[in-house]
C-alpha cells in the first residue's frame, strides 16, 4: 500500500477511477508535447476533465478531455445515453464508436487504480478498489472524438473500451446494467503499440489483464459519492 500512496492516486472501472500525480506520469511517459494540468485524484467521475495521451503529428501528446464521448455529429451536445464506455463488440459498428475507430482516434486514459462494485446477498453494493500488482501506473485503452457546438466551441472527449472480465473482475463486478465486464487495461510497454500501431495491431492489445497480476480490496462506501475525493478512499476496510 505504501507504494501506491506515494504515487498519489486517482481511480475507475467502467464508472470511477483514480489518477496519480502529473509529474509521475510525465516522467514515465516521455511525452513530446504537453497541454494538460491536473492533480492527484481519488474519485474521478464521468463528465469530468481527465488527462489522456494521444498520437498527433508523429509525437505523443498529453491533453485534457471530457470523460464521456460526444460524437462529432452531436454538435457538442452530450448524448442522452451513457458514452463513458465503448464495448469492444461494437467498436466498428456502434454509431458513436465506429467513426473514431475508423479514423484511428485512439488514446490512453491514464490511471493508477479504479473502483468496481459487488452486489452482496444483503442487497448492499460494496465498492472495491482495483489496482495492478505489477504496475503502479497504467492506462485504459480509449477512443476519442472532436465535436463542434453551434457557437463554435470545440469539445474533445473520450470513452474507455470495455470487454469481458477476467476471473477476478467477474467475481466482483456482478452488479449494474453490464455485469461481468472490465476496462481494457494497457501496461506502459503497450502504450506505443496502441497509439502508433495499425488497427489490427492495436485491436490485438485489447485483452483482459491477467487476474494474477491484479489486486482488489473492499473500501469505504464514501467512494459512492464523487464529492468525496481523498486518499482514505483507497484504504482497505478493517474489522
Give the CATH number for residue 161. Answer: 3.90.1680.10
Length of the chain: 239
Residue 198, judged by CB atoms within 10 A of its CB (0-12, 13-18, 19+), counts as exposed
- Which neighbouring-strand residues pair with 182? 163
Residue 123 forms part of a structural domain:
yes
Q: CA-to-CA distance for 128 and 237, rounded, in angstroms?
A: 10
Residue 187 or residue 9, greater confidence: 187
Flag whether pLDDT at 4 surpasses 50.
Answer: no
Q: What is the pLDDT of residue 13?
A: 44
Residue 239 forms part of a structural domain: no
CA distances in angstroms from 28 to 5, 116, 188, listed in the order given: 17, 26, 8
In a domain, 16, yes or no: yes
The reported pLDDT for the residue numbered 93 is 97
User: Helix, strand or coil for residue 99?
Assistant: helix
pLDDT at 152 over 60: yes
Write out the residue range of the structural domain in which residue 218 sits: 2-234
Residue 216 belongs to some domain of the structure: yes
* Per-residue confidence (pLDDT) for residue 14, from 0 to 100: 61
Which residue blocks in the chain are alpha helix, DSSP H?
2-7, 22-29, 98-102, 167-172, 191-196, 199-204
Q: What is the largest CA-CA distance in the chain?
A: 55
In a domain, 18, yes or no: yes
Instruction: Report how far Cα 6 is from the mean position of its chain's Cα atoms.
Output: 21
| Other beta carbons less than 10 A from residue 231's beta carbon | 13
Average of per-residue pLDDT across 157-162: 98
Half-sphere exposure at residue 101, Cβ-oriented, CA atoms within 13 angstroms: 22
Please give the pLDDT value at position 176: 81
Structural domain count of the chain: 1
Rg (CA), the chain: 17
With a pLDDT cut of 90, the percent of the chain lying above it is 88
**Short-list 189, 202, 215, 78, CA closest to 141:** 202
Q: What's the pLDDT band for 239 if we cut at 50, 70, 90? A: low
On whether residue 135 sits in a domain, the answer given is yes
* Confidence (pLDDT) at 12: 42
Question: With b meaning 16 or more CB within 10 Å and e meaning fewer, what string describes 79-89?
Answer: eeeebbbbebe
Amino acid at each position: 500500500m505504501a507504494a501506491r500512496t506515494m504515487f498519489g492516486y486517482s481511480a475507475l472501472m467502467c464508472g470511477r477511477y483514480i489518477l496519480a500525480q502529473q509529474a509521475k506520469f510525465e516522467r514515465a511517459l516521455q511525452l513530446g508535447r504537453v497541454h494538460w494540468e491536473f492533480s492527484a485524484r481519488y474519485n474521478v467521475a464521468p463528465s469530468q476533465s481527465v488527462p489522456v495521451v494521444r498520437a498527433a503529428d508523429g509525437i505523443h501528446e498529453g491533453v485534457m478531455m471530457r470523460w464521456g464521448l460526444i460524437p462529432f455529429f452531436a454538435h457538442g451536445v452530450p448524448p442522452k445515453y451513457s458514452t463513458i464506455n465503448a464495448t469492444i463488440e461494437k467498436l466498428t459498428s456502434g454509431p458513436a464508436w465506429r467513426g473514431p475507430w475508423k479514423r484511428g482516434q485512439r488514446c490512453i486514459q491514464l490511471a493508477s487504480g479504479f473502483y468496481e462494485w459487488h452486489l452482496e446477498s444483503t442487497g448492499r453494493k460494496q465498492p472495491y478498489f482495483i489496482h495492478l500488482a505489477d504496475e503502479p501506473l497504467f492506462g485504459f485503452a480509449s477512443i476519442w472524438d472532436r465535436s463542434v457546438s453551434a457557437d463554435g466551441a470545440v469539445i474533445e472527449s473520450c470513452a474507455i473500451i470495455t470487454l469481458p472480465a477476467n476471473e477476478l473482475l467477474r467475481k466482483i463486478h456482478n452488479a449494474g446494467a453490464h455485469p461481468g465486464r472490465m476496462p481494457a487495461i494497457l501496461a506502459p510497454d503497450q502504450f506505443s503499440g496502441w497509439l502508433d500501431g495499425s488497427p489490427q495491431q492495436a485491436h490485438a492489445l485489447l485483452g483482459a489483464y491477467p487476474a494474477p497480476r491484479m489486486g482488489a480490496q473492499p473500501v469505504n462506501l464514501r467512494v459512492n459519492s464523487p464529492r468525496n475525493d481523498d486518499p482514505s478512499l483507497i484504504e482497505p476496510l478493517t474489522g
